[in-house]
Chains A and B, each alone.
Chain A
Amino acid sequence: MAGSSEHSVDLSHAMITAPVSAADWLVIAPTLVTILGGTLALMARKNTAAQPKIGMIFLSLLVIVNVGLLMRVLDHGVITMVMGNWLPPFGIAFTADALGASLSLIASIVAWCAGLYGLVTVDGTGRRYGFYPFLLLLLTGVSGAFLTGDIFNLYVWFEVLLISSYGLLVLGNDRAQLDGTVKYGILNLIGTNLFLIATGLLYGNFGTLNMADIAMKVAAMDAGGSVGPLATIAGIYLLAFAMKAAAFPVNFWLPASYHTPNIVVSAVFAGLLTKVGVYALIRIFVLILPGARDYMADVISLIAIATMITGGLGALAQAEVRRLLGYLVIVGIGAMLAGIAVGSTQGIAGSIFYAVHSIIVMTALYMAAGIMKLMGGSYQLRQLGALYGLNPYFGGLFLVLAFAVSGLPPFSGFWPKMMLVEASLVDGRGWLAFAILFSGFLSTLAVGRVWIFAFWRGGAEGTPDGATTVRLAPAPEVTSPALWLPLLLLTGLVIYIGLQPDAMVQLVQRGAEGVIDPSAYVRSVFGEH
């Protein structure tokens, strides 16, 4: 500082001198809360009784600060906070817009549900080896990725969530998990390295890493950034995020690994991880490189179609519930890519809506699968049966989730699908619209089969028609409210969004407008000039 010197320096040329208003600190609160909670939980690692308490306290705090952040963003528009108060683009900016804040909120709700569910399914060993610290630090990475406004910082948050996901995935250390983690680990690390390559080249071209700054510089270019090095950079980004998001043909790590860990870990992964890839794709392709998105729209459209159809067919070919659900995650990714391929406000809004829907419904479905295993003793469709007789309400609940995931009304999957189909028809992409509907049909068949086999028929394979075999003996944990409360909450959200989509549609419209027209985003970072 210059105070003691005879020269006086005007710091306002280099730093933001106005104090940050207290409410704007909410921008970094989600990452701060989870880092603190994760550290505390790590310090109390051996105290297995305290672990869930620390975990749930900080996850509840996370939900609260995310609610506050979203309300603040809806009231005041995009908010930005710059690390060290250096003027942008020199300081690392955290910029929360409607898109980032709403996804961050949904992610924290899902993580809260998973933390509660984990009370039952994660045993003492799992707690001692760090289930709650990993979960909290995973959320650090996820929230950071949703809220950062700096592209290199986005890479760092990707790595934070990746290393935490490794820990969660291998927790328990059995053979299938090691096998799955090797494939997940190597392919995802290659994906993030590709991301870093593209970021390095982008830096070489523009000399800045701030997303708003890059967006301005790209928009100022003559061709709108559709040619030359930018097309190459966008291509590398597309490959990197397609790997992260599990888009065809670089998605085979997902069905190879998502069914191996503890069911609650599968639930969190299915809900959150691939959607971060989709989010990054929206951020980079729509906000920063819109010219390159137009240039590649046909390629993205083809990838979306292939992802949806192969995912649907893969789901039909599975004999194991968790692996089947893994393919349904992939179908959803295809639908979100469809919106990015269209690129209109409605298309992007449909993608964001579908991401929110998919986060909720996939987590709920994996949680339901965990309860099916506790009741019926297996994940194999051949061995499941008679669950409807055991608990008809659970049968109804699974049916709600099944309808939602295949996009049937009146549940949450219907509205985003409708928006996506309409947007692709308006854009003249009939095949894309057909693929969205056809993949919905395949998903209906796949989950319908699960329901018929696991719930409706009288018992495991071989039970004669009409007969109900031996009463199953469910595991004693199955009555625990910690299993049912998260599932009921998520199913409630699915039904509520299905019946009252207006608020959600407005929110995602706002999110989509914010990335398609980045002026508010840029203004928030650089101030009015």
Chain B
Amino acid sequence: METGLSVLIGLFFAVSVYLMLSRQLVRILLGIAILGNAVNLLIFTAGRLTRQVPPLIPEHLYTLVEATANPLPQALVLTAIVISFSFFAFLLVLAFRAYQELGTDDANEMRVAEPEDDPLPPQGY
């Protein structure tokens, strides 16, 4: 089970890196979305995959009596999902605004902050 998921996570990372190396903002953003999911799966797998009952304590007892699934990775993944989703939403709006203002979604052509024909620094004193 772990092996299969590890391969899947590797594929996710490969796809996301490939997309993020692209020049188009939309592809970069898709790459980031996939990267977030790859990381979530990675945390989930790192927390061990076991087919166990949920960690619930029976009514008349005070401790767990049998092996249970690990709830912590799920809490971590949940946090990471919320965070990565909000960042993705922000970057999506940002990219759209940048496209509106700069007229391009090509990273090579986004040269407003660092113009290509920037003057040289003064040479003499």
- A contacts, CB < 8 Å to B: 2, 7, 9, 152, 156, 159, 162-163, 166, 170, 173, 175-183, 185-186, 189-190, 193, 196-197, 199-201, 203-204, 255-257, 259-260, 316-319, 380-382, 449, 452-453, 457, 461
Contacts and interface: CB of A to CB of B under 8 A. Distances in A.
Contacts of B114: 255-256
Given A176-B113, A178-B112, A319-B121, 14 more contacts: A2-B62, A7-B62, A152-B79, A173-B97, A179-B111, A179-B112, A181-B98, A193-B39, A200-B46, A203-B47, A204-B47, A260-B113, A382-B122, A453-B125
The range of chain B's interface size is 35 or more
Contacts of B112: 175-176, 178-179
Contacts of B86: 163
B113 A186 contact: no
9 contacts: A156-B79, A163-B87, A179-B113, A183-B113, A186-B32, A197-B42, A204-B47, A255-B114, A381-B122
Contact of A182 (B20, B45, B80, B98): B98
A319 B97 contact: no
Contacts of A7: 62
Nearest to B13: A197
Contacts of A457: 125
Given A200-B42, A200-B43, A256-B114, A178 B101 contact: yes
A452 B42 CA distance: 54
A170 B43 CA distance: 32
A203 B113 contact: no
Contacts of A163: 86-87, 90
A180 B113 contact: yes
Contacts of B97: 173, 178
Chain B CB within 10 Å — which of A181, A381, A457 has the most? A181
B101 A193 contact: no
Interface of B: 20, 25, 28, 32, 35-36, 39, 42-43, 45-48, 62, 72-73, 76, 79-80, 83-84, 86-87, 90-91, 94-95, 97-98, 101-102, 110-114, 118-122, 125
Contacts of A204: 45-48
Contacts of A162: 87
B43 A185 contact: no
A170 B94 contact: yes
A256 B72 CA distance: 39
A107 B35 CA distance: 32
B32 A319 contact: no
B34 to A, nearest CB: 11
Contact of A179 (B42, B46, B73, B102): B102
Contact of A201 (B35, B42, B118): B42
A50 B45 CA distance: 49
Contacts of B48: 204
A25 B20 CA distance: 43
A190 B122 contact: no
Given A186-B28, A186-B91, A319-B118, A452 B113 contact: no
A84 to B, nearest CB: 13
A9 B90 contact: no
Contacts of B28: 186
Contacts of A9: 62
A185 B39 contact: no
A190 B110 CA distance: 19
A-B CB proximity, top 9 nearest = A204-B46, A200-B43, A319-B121, A179-B112, A179-B113, A178-B98, A180-B113, A176-B113, A200-B46
B91 A317 contact: no
Given A189-B87, A196-B43, A200-B43, A182 B95 contact: yes
A259 B113 contact: yes
A311 B115 CA distance: 19
A317 B114 CA distance: 13
Nearest to B121: A319
Contacts of A177: 113
Given A170-B94, A193-B36, A200-B42, A159 B87 contact: yes
B121 A317 contact: yes
A203 B95 contact: no
Contacts of A166: 90, 94
Contacts of B42: 197, 200-201
A402 B2 CA distance: 56
Given A9-B62, A189-B87, A181 B32 contact: no
A9 B60 CA distance: 13
B39 A182 contact: no
Contacts of A255: 114
Given A7-B62, A182-B110, A190-B32, A382 B119 contact: yes
